[in-house]
Structure 1
Amino acid sequence: MLCSCVMSKRFDLHSHTLRSDGVLTPTELVQRAAEKGVDVLALTDHDVTDGIAEASAAASEAGIELIPGVEVSVSWEGRTIHVVGLAIDPANTELDQGLARLRAMRNERGRDIGERLERAGVENAHAGASEYAQGEILSRTHFARFLVDRGYAADVGKAFRDYLRKGKPGHVRNDWVSLEQGVSWIRAAGGTAVIAHPARYKMSAGAMRRMLGEFRESGGHGVEVVCGNYNAAEAERFARLAREFDLLSSCGSDFHGPEQHWLELGKLAPFPAGCIPVWERWAA
């Protein structure tokens, strides 16, 4: 999949388009990645793969490499965890059927969020948020953008804090598929399963070790050691955990749009010493 001299390449293995909760088209995403100096980009929209064909064509035109991917929503001990699948076959039937199941769950959750927000006084919440969803899924980010544009919140972060997080009027518990199930779909599609942005889960050290242990036992391959908003201490922590659990190291900005400048494409620190990059699995 990868050509030689991968060590000289600049990788960004986590990004989104408007097919899920990003704001750029697949073509615009690839063009921006090329402008930012990215050599190898993974498109990893939430629970949907239908932007990959367009992104692949744009990558060929731009002279960069496109890794087909997806970000799968799973549940573990009552928490939502995201597992990035890299180098997948998007046409795989098992993965495709699994993602369709997750999209249906997302859209049902969207209806519940809309009803709760409307009961809290937010008019036309479901219909309004749906106007921001240009793909097959309705996400919390679409509700957040709606709340900002209608004047209910100053920015997306405040919309989440005031309306969408646990204990707030629009919060709905997420019950996705199991961690093991999500990993199995990625593996069925020939992909590499990676725990996305582990620092965001705010787990205790013990819970993180349990989760990574179960992930490894389920056939998981790697962990995002470097993410767009990590500090050096977080990267070092997850580099140590990757070594402890014999996991490969991945890196990704989690880019959603230009407005989140702290998650810019290709704006990633180098791996801490001792990491084995996930792309070594593809070059083997």
Structure 2
Amino acid sequence: MIKYDLHSHSTFSDGRLAVPELIERATEKGVDVLALTDHDTVAGVSVARDFIAEKNLALELISGVEISTKWESFEIHIVGLNIDINDANLQVLLTQQQQKRRERAKEIGARLEKRGYEGIYAQALELAQDAEITRAHFAKALVERGVAKNIQGVFKKFLARNKTGYVPSVWCSMEEAIEAIQGAGGVAVLAHPGRYQMSNKWLRKLLDEFTGAGGKAMEVAQPQQAPSERQFLGQLSQEYNLLASQGSDFHYPTSWLDLGRNLYLPKDCQGVWQFWGATEEC
């Protein structure tokens, strides 16, 4: 049985492992096929390919990206798998996304500095290094200052909706993301649909519009997930005629989440890997 993990992050966005470390850990954990899906950037994909070739690893890399989009009042993430990272239209969209991310980060920094956290933007930018700056970098900076015990605590106190450092996102539309992914030869996947804290009615509305815009797959399986949720998402994927994906959404290892951990699809789902010619069934 091939072990797929089709959602992971590196230090090119808000992951904590550099690409070589991520690749090595995936290999150690027995992952056969890994997708690198950093937020609004594909900068790490070539680095990963080069490292795999240099070390002569058996790991198969799927070039990917996770694009933040705005839908209704929700921030919806769309994963693109098996994309041409050099596609011109995709590059234009990602450049625009990156600019929006930087502008949002500056506003977050300004709001937190008004609260008394001087130099927080510069600190978050330094933590990001060459990566696209995210709220996670602000959270890490505030943890370093001792204002909360962990990143989750910072989000709850400062960065969640209606909190001091919250700045509404101005991402591209879901339709624009799907169009760019498909134009780059990839498959558009609705990321972690169980995390959006929406009712069943709203989730079905999202799926209606996602499929109507050309979306072809949805994430069904993640490591930390109730069996009932996995089964429900699997049923939805079949109902909406969507391919099913699985991924850890790995950022860093924890006691409950790691690369390749507890990833399997419910019976009768059709794996998204069929899109690029693999024949392994769910």
Q: Same fold (TM over 0.5)?
A: yes
RMSD: 1.1
CA contact (8 A) 1:253 1:266 kept: yes
Residue type of the alignment partner of 2:156: R
CA contact (8 A) 1:193 1:221 kept: yes
In structure 1, the partner of 2:141 is 146
CA contact (8 A) 1:86 1:191 kept: yes
Instruction: Mark the runs of 5 or more structure 1 residues left unpaired by the alignment.
Output: 1-7
CA contact (8 A) 1:88 1:186 kept: yes
Aligned pair partner of 1:58 in 39, 45, 51: 51
In structure 1, the partner of 2:20 is 27
Equivalent pairs counted in the alignment come to 276
Runs of 4+ off more than 6 Å:
none
Within 2, Cα distance between the matches of 1:132 and 1:80?
24
**What is the TM-score with the length of structure 2 in the denominator?**
0.95
In structure 1, the partner of 2:238 is 243
CA contact (8 A) 1:30 1:62 kept: no
Aligned pair partner of 1:46 in 39, 52, 68: 39
Within 2, Cα distance between the matches of 1:228 and 1:242?
18
Within 2, Cα distance between the matches of 1:73 and 1:133?
18
Structure 1 residue 261: Cα displacement: 3.6
CA contact (8 A) 1:41 1:64 kept: yes
In structure 2, the partner of 1:170 is 165
CA contact (8 A) 1:255 1:264 kept: yes
Residue type of the alignment partner of 1:53: S
Instruction: Mark the runs of 5 or more structure 2 residues left unpaired by the alignment.
Output: none
SS at structure 1 position matched to 2:17: coil
Within 2, Cα distance between the matches of 1:48 and 1:184?
16
Within 1, Cα distance between the matches of 2:263 and 2:65?
23
CA contact (8 A) 2:247 2:263 kept: no
Structure 1 residue 136: Cα displacement: 4.2
Residue type of the alignment partner of 2:31: V
Within 1, Cα distance between the matches of 2:262 and 2:130?
28
CA contact (8 A) 2:68 2:75 kept: yes
SS at structure 1 position matched to 2:65: strand
Structure 1 residue 230: Cα displacement: 1.6
Within 5 Å, which residues of 2 pair with 1:1-284?
8-60=1-53, 61-258=56-253, 260-283=254-277
Within 1, Cα distance between the matches of 2:20 and 2:264?
27
Residue type of the alignment partner of 2:141: F
